[in-house]
Chain A
């Protein structure tokens, strides 16, 4: 007689998730036990395999690691440093300069009323294993609480440094903007040494009040960087505005999920993405925009170049409820494939139940324009340079949407350097 023992693949992460005192942790841990690991049969994860992430043991993140801070951005920011997911006041700037805006470690504020009331509301667990894992034991994260009418005097620059492999790091942010507040945040991940076997499973909850405006710039440019599984949950109130631009230039496996609820009339969401993928980098941009009420607008533009053995995935869904009349929703994903081994999977989706709407979606996968290439070369531009010029130009349309000119220039130079290396 034989007995079969079924080993839960999550056994590698479960020990690290026990004993957390964060809100909802115990319930979340129970969910981790029951929720399955997504497979290629799970529609939302069809092209991004995560099973292998559970094949290795993990350790708790090292918060006190010694790090070398990279050079500052070429423009003025308030820098906030996290090392392996832990907030490091000793490495961060003075965070108390903007009156009426709380910027701090989220861990320090869990017992405060507004946090208690909203934590876990924007990114509920549902059937999401990674959300359950994060909620069961967040490492730490950033709270931004901007009171009515306040504005960040300069962009916040959140720098996440990962120092070693094998860590399970679970950042958990909560951004709350009250009426008319304006906040701009740059989030950058940097790896020191080889962090490729670490897993960063992050959740950010963004709650945007009436007429408030949140801009997030996300940069993923790490050689030997960790795996990223990230979720931005966003709820936008009346006339509120949310804008995110995600730039992925390096990494191993990167999943960026943005889940937006347009919850008040005339709310607006703008999602932009740029990616240049080579080596074996796999980048999956997964978006959901819920038009829940009338008169809201959303606009998504993701463009990228996939070369060598890189993989680009885009899955965008726009859902327009029956009541959401006069919705305007645009979505576009365009890709350039270079080489025989590069892969792109793209799936735009529209689901519309209202009858007075303007929606469009589209996706393209192609090559660099041969006519353009010949035109440039016939003028004396070398083939390599002509390819770079056209590649950069392909993504310019996305960069032009980024309103922070200094950030846009910074990205443009990073993209140029990346294209140079292709």
Chain B
């Protein structure tokens, strides 16, 4: 959590490998390796997934085609056999239920003409398909109505396990009613200035960021 401009989205994008950002100081160690040395796709193959604040619309690339390519390249990089068409479709149907995705959206062009809520659901659906070890949700709750929020949060909750972790970037306590965090970190001016249990989020909601900034 943290006020506008505190660097939350920057952190999320840096972790996923966005090339517009140059890391001038510091290190990121992920599973014992230097994350900053890796290309975005290599990070994905190692289990990092960024759910975008603004998912990109890509006309001419079908949702399914894209996802199948992404999954199979990830599997290949991890020494697994490619998933056949039938197995892939079975998995799609199963995971689509998690976020109540319409089958019609699957065959459409990637995010093209999707509503804000549908785009966010598609992000969580992709996450469910790719089963990351580290899921980063960059303001996934922004622009969602309460029903969509519940569905998206429900999807995340079903994916949580002892083998994975999530970084959830948000402005609001509201999301944390549905996705209950283990730890809350507060960022300001590019630094984590306070960490605490889930109750910290409630206290922030009540007292504002000025309170922690002091």
Contact = CB atoms under 8 A, between A and B. Distances in A.
A140 B66 CA distance: 48
A392 B109 CA distance: 13
A305 to B, nearest CB: 13
A379 B39 contact: no
A5 interface: no
A377 B69 contact: no
A379 B71 CA distance: 8
B33 interface: no
B24 to A, nearest CB: 20
A377 B60 contact: no
A379 B60 contact: no
Interface in A49-98: none
Interface residues of A, number: 24
Select the residue from B39, B60, B67 with max chain A CB neighbours within 10 A. Answer: B60
Given A389-B61, A390-B61, A393-B59, A376 B70 contact: yes
Contacts of B52: 375
B50 interface: yes
Given A374-B18, A374-B19, A375-B55, A381 B69 contact: yes
Interface stretch (B40-48, B153-161, B191-199): B40-48
B100 interface: no
A377 B44 contact: yes
Interface in A167-214: none
Contacts of A380: 41, 44-45, 70-71, 73-74, 77, 130
Nearest to B47: A380
B17 interface: yes
A65 B30 CA distance: 66
B60 A397 contact: yes
B81 interface: no
B16 A378 contact: yes
A382 B60 contact: no
Nearest to A393: B60
Contacts of B19: 370, 374
B70 A396 contact: no
Select the residue from B20, B61, B67 with max chain A CB neighbours within 10 A. Answer: B61
B58 A376 contact: yes
Given A374-B19, A390-B61, A379 B70 contact: yes
A371 B66 contact: no
Given A379-B126, A380-B77, A389 B16 contact: no
Contact of B40 (A372, A374, A394, A397): A374
A8 interface: no
B56 interface: yes
A386 B65 CA distance: 12
A385 interface: yes
A383 B18 contact: no
Contact of A375 (B58, B60, B73): B58
Given A372-B58, A376-B58, A390-B58, A381 B77 contact: no
Given A372-B56, A375-B56, A382 B41 contact: yes
Interface string A385-407: 11001101111110000000000
A380 B71 CA distance: 7
A393 B57 CA distance: 12
B70 A381 contact: yes
A208 B84 CA distance: 49
Nearest to B61: A393
Contacts of B69: 381, 385, 389
A409 to B, nearest CB: 14
A379 B61 contact: no
Contacts of A393: 58-61
Nearest to A371: B56
Nearest to A377: B40
A392 B67 CA distance: 16
B73 A381 contact: yes
Nearest to A386: B41
A383 B39 contact: yes
A371 B56 CA distance: 7
A378 B73 CA distance: 12
Contacts of B17: 374, 377-378
Nearest to B58: A372
Contact of A396 (B44, B45, B50, B60): B60
Contacts of A390: 58, 61
Given A374-B56, A381-B41, A389-B66, 16 more contacts: A374-B40, A376-B58, A377-B39, A378-B49, A379-B126, A380-B70, A380-B73, A381-B69, A381-B73, A382-B41, A383-B41, A385-B69, A389-B61, A389-B69, A390-B58, A393-B59
Interface of A: 369-372, 374-383, 385-386, 389-390, 392-397
Interface of B: 16-20, 39-41, 43-45, 49-50, 52, 55-56, 58-61, 65-67, 69-71, 73-74, 77, 126, 130
Nearest 5 Cβ contacts at the A-B interface: A393-B60, A396-B60, A380-B44, A380-B74, A377-B40
6 contacts: A371-B56, A374-B56, A377-B40, A380-B74, A380-B77, A393-B60
